[in-house]
Amino acid sequence: MTRLLLIFLCSLIGLSCSPSDRLPPGADVPDWIQLFDGETLDGWTPKIKGYEFGVNHAETFRVEDGAITVSYDGYDQFDENFGHLFYEKAFSHYVIAVEYRFIGDQIEGGPGWAYRNSGIMIHSPPGESMLKEQNFPISIEVQLLGGNGIDEKTTSNLCTPGTHVEMGGELVTRHCVSSTSKTYHGDQWVRAEVLVLGDSLISHRLEEVVVLEYQKPQIGGGSVDPFDPAFKIDGKLLDSGFISLQSESHPVQFRKVELLNLKGCMNPKASNFKSYFMASDPRACKP
């Protein structure tokens, strides 16, 4: 994965990957942060529509078989109880990678469009900002979909709850944009990677191939109801924010959630310098 990731960054954003005697030992080794420890939900907090931040209604989010599992066995039916599991820290420049699969049957009452549907929400305000009855965070959604065994359905799509993006210099206001991915049928594990460079570029990648990319994520549009107006400043560029995983009525598992931070010390003389950093954080530098 180290070599593949460096090739990914080099080819996608022109990063120099040539060896250099000036680099300290290990400088080019990607330092992945495991956001999920494989055993607990430490560092993660749920927000489910109809409940306050921190209430894990019916244990919607749990750890089973070494994976974060979205389950509805404690529900009578789905009553638009859309949920999001928020990670505790915000990021601006990074690669987020998840390994996910859909399992079981959709709960009764789930909308048709939510069949084998989940997502990674990025550039979101903190989960505490969501109102009790709010359905989705104002964010950029990397939509994760699974096939039904017959029809074609792309994954790593873009959806925009309360947001817009630009593509080719043009503002895109439609709610969802499909990627160019193939369809992943059945309960197979899929690894999805997303390169996030503040408000300049977001790139979705599957099997070492870019399937969608766009620029200038910003607040705007609808599909979020209700919301705190203090967090809905239309036109404001989104250059950082929190990450969450969705529950949208179909059981899904995440066996890996990992992040490569691309913001850090860019001083080559520092012991924690990494040549792949894309944004500078001088405060992070160590002797």
DSSP string of 162-174, one letter each residue: TEEEEETTEEE-S
- Please indicate, yes or no, if residue 267 is contained in any of the structural domains: yes
Cα–Cα distance measured from residue 281 to residue 287, given in angstroms and rounded to the nearest whole number: 14
The pTM assigned to this predicted structure is 0.91
Residue 108: domain span: 31-278
- Please indicate, yes or no, if residue 285 is contained in any of the structural domains: no
- Please indicate, yes or no, if residue 84 is contained in any of the structural domains: yes
Mean per-residue pLDDT, 93-121: 97
- Please tell me what DSSP assigns to residue 12: H
| Whether the predicted pLDDT of 71 surpasses 50 | yes
> From start to end of the chain, where are the E strands?
32-34, 44-48, 61-64, 67-70, 83-91, 93-102, 117-124, 140-145, 157-159, 163-167, 170-172, 176-177, 190-197, 201-206, 209-219, 241-247, 252-261, 263-264, 279-280
- Look up residue 255 and give its amino acid: R
Total domain count, the chain: 1
Q: List Cβ<8 Å contacts ≥24 apart for 21-27.
A: 22/268, 23/268, 23/273, 23/275, 24/268, 24/270, 24/271, 24/273, 27/273, 27/274, 27/275
- Please indicate, yes or no, if residue 236 is contained in any of the structural domains: yes
Cα–Cα distance measured from residue 36 to residue 68, given in angstroms and rounded to the nearest whole number: 8
Cα–Cα distance measured from residue 254 to residue 103, given in angstroms and rounded to the nearest whole number: 11
pLDDT band for position 30 (50/70/90)? confident
- Please indicate, yes or no, if residue 244 is contained in any of the structural domains: yes
Task: Specify which residues 205 forms β-bridges with.
Answer: 193, 210
- Please indicate, yes or no, if residue 88 is contained in any of the structural domains: yes
Which two structure tokens, joined as six digits, stand for 215? 């620029």
| Whether the predicted pLDDT of 236 surpasses 50 | yes
Polymer length in residues for the chain: 287
| Whether the predicted pLDDT of 125 surpasses 50 | yes
The single residue listed with the structure tokens 């503002």 is 171
Could you read off the pLDDT of 40-56 as tens digits, one per residue? 999 999 999 999 999 99
Which two structure tokens, joined as six digits, stand for 128? 């505490």
Could you read off the pLDDT of 176-222 as tens digits, one per residue? 999 999 999 999 999 999 999 999 999 999 998 999 999 999 999 99
CATH number of the domain to which 142 belongs: 2.60.120.560
- Please indicate, yes or no, if residue 269 is contained in any of the structural domains: yes
Percent of the chain residues topping a pLDDT of 70: 90
Cα–Cα distance measured from residue 49 to residue 247, given in angstroms and rounded to the nearest whole number: 10
- Please indicate, yes or no, if residue 287 is contained in any of the structural domains: no
